[in-house]
Structure 1
Amino acid sequence: MHARRLPDLVLPDLVLRDARIADHAEPVDIHLGNGLIRSIGSRSAAAPGAETLDCAGRVVIPGLIESHLHLDKALLDRERPNPDGSLAGAIAVTGELKRSFTAQAVRERARSVIEQAVTHGTTLIRAHPDVDPIIGLLALDVVLELREEYRDVVDLQVVAFPQEGVLRAEGTLGLLREALRRGADVVGGCTYNEADVADCRRQVDLVLDLAVEFGVPADLHADFADDTADPRFAMAEYIAGAVVRRGLQGRVALGHMTSLAGRPPSERREVLAALASAGVAVVPLPATDLHLNGRADQVNTRRGVAPVRELWESGVTCAYSSNNIRNAFTPYGNADLLDIGLLLAQTGHLTGPDDLARVLAMATTEAARVVGVADRYGLRPGAAADLVVLDTLNVHDVLLDRPVRTAVIKGGRVVARSTRSTELLFRTA
């Protein structure tokens, strides 16, 4: 079933009764109306004509945010898997598959993942369709169409993403410019996919110049390696300086950044301080990063995930995301951010209530900062009524339990429901 644009009708208010938004506090009522959270407080009479949803003490959180997702390349493992499991292998096999992409095939795969993400509580997706001489603007145009088709169900931010590089793939710069003219929300980059360090830096400059010219944020794939033995994977300092020179602080995000973990501690502290000072966000993508990194290690295989605790301590804004779903880059996944959050916690030595709360924030409030919607997002009056009711009674247990998404609410309207029934069929003496 695919989303259809709803007529512009006045929807009735919705009151979430007995919703738990914090442990060690009484449940509250959350009153939604006109697409916004009207109020949060103790039980009160519903407005005339309002609908009610009894949460019965269940946890309510803001809608989850997929801050980095490749819809156009999802589910390609059905056609051809990665031959050697490497990043180079993933780029190569996907480049070949792209030559036979059709708009309908991209649309069907993307719809499947969008709808799966929505049922798992996602209310905003920053999608990265490829823009390059192989596929042209086909994938971007499809995702722009889906942005309109699903606008009542999930917000789609569209990133024009040059997977094949900018200078290496002649004609890509013009395609990026045309993608922004057609309505792409964000300009992307793939800094390491150039011939040498000079061209990597030139790509950074070109992409950030487009961000300034079109007044859009930038979101770059960068430093995606085990270490910085190849200097093309040590762009963090240059990117931070280039952002400051253009006044783009707070408007640039970097995906992956796995080689940060391979740098000496003192050097890493300097790099993280530069990113924090420049307001550059970092988005680890643990499912992909774990799968593709450490391939050459014979003993003590490296995790290949950005050092999240150090990012926190340095003041770098962080989110995490699914990145790819069942393709050459990541051969698994269900577009479920709670699964990815637990994976990040397990691999990042993150534990206890405080750490788990911060990990959950990386898919909610911190992700909202990364994608630029923090001013209208959250669990507070005046914020967008984009919420998820979870089938657990404890906020602390959200990542540990990955509970059923009882209700997903977008713009004050329930857009997805899930139930699960379990029955224990034995008794002890």
Structure 2
Amino acid sequence: MFDLVIKNARINDGETLKTIGIKEGRISQITENSIEEVKKTIDAKGNVVIPGFVEGHIHLDKALIAERKPNQSGTLQEAIKVTAELKPTFTKEDIEERAKKALEMLIVNGVTTVRTHAEFDPAQGFTGFETIMKLKDEYRELIDIQVVAFPQEGIFKAPGTEEMMHQAMIMGADVVGGIPYNDLPAEKHIDLIFEIAEKYNKPIDLHQDFSDEADALSIEYLCAKTIEKGYQGRVTVGHLTALHALPKLELDNIISKMAQAEISVMALPATDLHLGARKDVFNVRRAVTPIRKLRDGGVNMCLATNNIRNAFTPYGNGDILQIAMLAIPVGHLGGAADLPTVLPMITENPAKALGLTDYGIEVGKKADLVILDTISKANAIIDLPTRLVVIKNGRLTVENTKETIIHA
């Protein structure tokens, strides 16, 4: 007896429609035949079925505050200043209310796993971090949440933060976060992050080289440190915008080192387009990490949201498909050979970055699935399809029954 069956599922273009049998939260069978003994059946009607979207980089504790104190200049500097001024006003109740709204945006849009950076410092304490840890447990039936211990204000710049990093790990943080460019020296910051990660046997996720210019990079040091410590495949970086300013030979050299270190990259086009190149008065740069070049150089390339409606990103609705659609023209990913590489940037690639070993549409994998309102997997991004059904741990969690009628 199967708990749930999805029939007439299009897993790949050009293949016969499949029936997916789910039992005890996992995919138990994939067949071209029908399955009779089942508690509940969902008819995909030939629509595309994909594994759940993976949102690999977001800040739930800072979501939905854009109207409180707008970033008038649109610069990174003012975004940091505005947010620092607002943080003392955040209460646990306030953070919980906003983070829940943001989580539910992600859930209805088909995200089944999210990695969120939760920050703390001696001035604000663990207000946001503790709230996000609480929501991780509360929402476990709807979405898997990985929590990054994130020292937004730096570690050495904010005395007392080093001790808080250790405390956060003891409190249950899943990932050691860091921000080398906002601490001095960056190399010492990276050294400490690895020391903490090794002590607690946790992966690393850094806000890395977030700048319009490539004049203070620490990515090469990070690559060397990753290999030295045997941390290949366990380090992820977000932003990395400074790479766009490098000449080809220097860029190629760094990409080669990143591929050797197996460092994953979270490109954050919505934020970085908004904040980047604000001082350019003509021939304005895109200021987004070079997605195609990193991908072609063997780097595990991912796309993520970063922020929803705050000083860093004053828009967004939790729809990672829109982030992917934005990345297509920004990253020159619309070519015939490029377009098929985009969907993996919000599914299997971030799943790899987050260490999800039971992810995908295969027998034995966790049944985290989304039915899209399109019959073409090749067009799964550009159709911006409705998420018709979301299944988490083998259980129906979201069903979109909205009907559109065209009156001729």
* TM, length-normalised to structure 1: 0.93
Alignment of 1:215 with 2:204, yes or no, is no
Show structure 1 runs of 5+ residues with no match: 1-10
Is the 1:144–1:158 Cα contact (8 Å) retained in structure 2?
Answer: yes
Query: Aligned equivalents of 1:390 and 1:89: distance in 2?
Result: 39
Aligned runs of 1:187-198 on 2, under 5 Å? 187-195=176-184
What one-letter code is carried by the residue in structure 2 that aligns with 1:84? S
Query: Aligned equivalents of 1:194 and 1:212: distance in 2?
Result: 21
Residues 83, 340 of structure 1: CA spacing in aligned structure 2 closer, same or farther, 3 A cutoff? same
Q: Which residue of 2 aligns with 1:124?
A: 113
Please state how far the C-alpha of 1:357 moved relative to its aligned partner: 2.1
| Residue among 63, 87, 91 paired with 1:98 | 87
Q: Which residue of 2 aligns with 1:425?
A: 407
Is the 1:98–1:134 Cα contact (8 Å) retained in structure 2?
Answer: no
Paired positions, count: 408
Task: Classify the secondary structure of the residue corresponding to 2:301.
Answer: coil
Query: Aligned equivalents of 1:284 and 1:421: distance in 2?
Result: 34
Is the 2:340–2:378 Cα contact (8 Å) retained in structure 1?
Answer: yes
For the aligned residue pairs, the C-alpha RMSD in angstroms reads 1.2
Q: Which residue of 1 aligns with 2:214?
A: 228
Query: Aligned equivalents of 1:209 and 1:154: distance in 2?
Result: 30
Alignment of 1:152 with 2:141, yes or no, is yes
Task: Classify the secondary structure of the residue corresponding to 1:78.
Answer: coil
Is the 1:20–1:26 Cα contact (8 Å) retained in structure 2?
Answer: yes
Percent of aligned pairs sharing the same letter: 42
Query: Aligned equivalents of 2:132 and 2:36: distance in 1?
Result: 39
Query: Aligned equivalents of 2:359 and 2:273: distance in 1?
Result: 30
Residues 112, 395 of structure 1: CA spacing in aligned structure 2 closer, same or farther, 3 A cutoff? same
| Residue among 408, 415, 427 paired with 2:397 | 415
Aligned runs of 1:18-417 on 2, under 5 Å? 18-47=8-37, 49-195=38-184, 199-229=185-215, 231=216, 234-373=217-356, 375-417=357-399
Query: Aligned equivalents of 2:343 and 2:399: distance in 1?
Result: 21
Is the 1:95–1:134 Cα contact (8 Å) retained in structure 2?
Answer: no
Query: Aligned equivalents of 1:371 and 1:312: distance in 2?
Result: 17
Is the 1:15–1:46 Cα contact (8 Å) retained in structure 2?
Answer: no
Is the 1:385–1:410 Cα contact (8 Å) retained in structure 2?
Answer: yes
* TM, length-normalised to structure 2: 0.98
Task: Classify the secondary structure of the residue corresponding to 2:62.
Answer: coil
Please state how far the C-alpha of 1:241 moved relative to its aligned partner: 0.7
Show structure 2 runs of 5+ residues with no match: none
Residues 50, 352 of structure 1: CA spacing in aligned structure 2 closer, same or farther, 3 A cutoff? farther
Please state how far the C-alpha of 1:12 moved relative to its aligned partner: 5.9
Q: Which residue of 2 aligns with 1:8?
A: none
Task: Classify the secondary structure of the residue corresponding to 2:379.
Answer: helix
Is the 2:7–2:34 Cα contact (8 Å) retained in structure 1?
Answer: no
